[in-house]
Copies of this chain bind each other. A is one copy, B any other.
Amino acid sequence: MLVVIPLFPDFTALDAVGPYEVFRLLPGTEVVLVAACPGAVRADSRKLALTADRAFDEIDSCDVLVVPGGPGSRKPPDALVRWLQKVHPTTRWTTSVCTGALILGKAGILRGGMTATTHWAAADLLRAFGVEYSTERVVFQDKHRVATGAGVTSGIDFALTLAARLADEETAQAIQLVLQYDPQPPFDAGDPGRATPAVRERALDILHHLVPAVGLTGPTSGA
């Protein structure tokens, strides 16, 4: 089984590395990072780069596509969008984490009355593609072979859920145990509906600083 994760400038590293870490532990599974050209691709912080080992034009098909998000999702490279349009018909599952859903939207992959999720602050940007935004953390649309995860860290929950479907629950649980994924966040502020207004304000400040050119959709979208 081939899982392909495309990278693009200003992606968010954890969006990609969470699912990578799950799928690379799935027996019989190959994980490949791709980009327009092989080599280092800078993440949104500019402080980290992941290496793409293959170019888009080397991969014509795969079993699972995982599109990460990040500020770069607002203006995804044409080469990425065209490649997704080419590969999507070959997949068992075409998926996204965080604002990767906006790239699926741009590629026309979310058409047909689909429900999907994305980062809470990008809900309206997702709706602009005619998509029903869900506040669920992981949304599967079996009929469309599409699955989407919410912001950043949802990629781990999403990937474990998909691993169970691709293999079986015991295998997915073993991967969860290898990753010691027994989360114990020190605060209960990970959902916009439960964070305080002051925390939401601070989070939006940080997000606007990360995505200065395009802006986001306001604090109420995910509540």
Determine whether A79 belongs to the interface, using a CB cutoff of 8 Å to chain B. Answer: no
Cα A156 to Cα B157 with chains together (Å) = 14
B51 lies within 8 A of A49 (CB): yes
In the assembled complex, how far is the CB of residue A215 from the closest CB belonging to chain B, in whole angstroms? 15
Per a CB cutoff under 8 Å, which of B14, B31, B196 touches A17? B14
A178 lies within 8 A of B164 (CB): no
Chain B hits for A186, CB < 8 A = 138, 157, 160-161, 164, 172
Cα A175 to Cα B20 with chains together (Å) = 22
B184 lies within 8 A of A137 (CB): yes
Question: Interface extent on A, as a size class?
Answer: 35 or more
Determine whether A45 belongs to the interface, using a CB cutoff of 8 Å to chain B. Answer: yes
In the assembled complex, how far is the CB of residue A92 from the closest CB belonging to chain B, in whole angstroms? 19
Proximity string of chain A (16-52) to chain B, C-beta cutoff 8 Å, 1 when within and 0 when not = 0110110011010011110000001000010111110
Cα A199 to Cα B33 with chains together (Å) = 29
Cα A213 to Cα B202 with chains together (Å) = 47
A14 lies within 8 A of B25 (CB): no
Question: How many identical subunits does the complex contain?
Answer: 2
Determine whether A119 belongs to the interface, using a CB cutoff of 8 Å to chain B. Answer: yes
Chain B hits for A131, CB < 8 A = none
A177 lies within 8 A of B190 (CB): yes
For A32, A45, A176, which residue has the most chain B Cβ atoms within 10 angstroms?
A: A176
Interface residues of A (CB under 8 A from B): 12-14, 17-18, 20-21, 24-25, 27, 30-33, 40, 45, 47-51, 53, 98, 119-120, 137-138, 150-154, 156-157, 160-161, 164, 169-187, 189-192, 194-196, 198-200, 202-203, 205-207
- A sample of 10 inter-chain contacts (CB < 8 A) reads A13-B20, A14-B18, A24-B48, A119-B180, A137-B182, A160-B186, A170-B198, A171-B202, A173-B196, A182-B191
Q: A160-B185, A177-B192 are in contact. List 17 more A-B contacts (CB 8 A).
A: A13-B20, A14-B21, A24-B45, A31-B48, A40-B40, A48-B51, A50-B50, A138-B186, A151-B178, A156-B183, A157-B186, A164-B186, A170-B196, A170-B202, A172-B187, A173-B196, A176-B187
